[in-house]
Amino acid sequence: MSILLFVMLGVFIFMMFRRNKKTQQQQAELQSKFGPGVEVMTSFGLFGRIVDMDEAENKVTLELSPGNLATVHRQAVTKIVEPAAVPEAAAPAVPDDASSITGQGVTAQEPAAPAQPAETAETQDETLKRLNDEGKKDS
């Protein structure tokens, strides 16, 4: 029974050292990507752009906003912020037939009207009459 306890303790210590080694490798990889112009986030939630790095004293100067600088310890910078992916502009719909050449049909400048179910569809005149009647009831 005591042998099993020592084996469990050994596995626990091995896993602990392995985890620490992985964390150190990730931190070293992150630190190697640092350089002027990189957008980063600090461990306390400040976002900024690296302006200057002092390797001897482990200091990083961040520009938080134009003209607003902050100096933090190099280990306080915990994340590189990737720019958000900008979705590509939707291409205008090109019909398969020749209606775009003749000027008939829906063009890219005129969006198609949303389809309405047959039982709830009403004409413009009916809509205006209904809205006017509702306005008279409220007053």
Confidence of residue 139 (pLDDT cuts 50, 70, 90): low
Sign of CA dihedral 121, 123, 128, 129: negative
Stated pTM of the model: 0.46
Q: Domain coordinates of the chain in residue numbers? A: 35-83
Least confident segment among 16-25, 39-48, 112-121:
112-121
Confidence of residue 35 (pLDDT cuts 50, 70, 90): confident
Where would I find the H helices in 58-116?
99-102
Residue 113 in tokens: 């009207």
Residue 79 in tokens: 């994340």
DSSP β-ladder status, 47-54 and 39-42 = antiparallel
One-letter identity of residue 41: M
pLDDT (tens digit, 9 = 90+) per residue, 79-136? 888 776 666 666 566 666 655 566 555 555 555 555 555 566 788 888 888 888 877 7
Residue 18 reports pLDDT greater than 90: yes
Reference 31, options 7, 3, 60; nearest CA is 60
Residue 100 in tokens: 């775009």
Provide the percentage of residues in the chain whose pLDDT is more than 70.
71
Reference 71, options 44, 52, 88; nearest CA is 52
Q: What is the CATH number of domain 35-83?
A: 2.30.30
pLDDT (tens digit, 9 = 90+) per residue, 49-84? 999 988 889 899 999 988 899 999 988 888 888 776
CA distances (Å), 70 to each of 27, 106, 128, in order? Answer: 22, 55, 61
Residue range 38-53: mean pLDDT, rounded: 90
Q: What is the pLDDT of residue 88?
A: 63
CB-based contact 50:62 (threshold 8 Å): yes
Q: For residue 59, list its beta bridge partners.
A: 54, 73
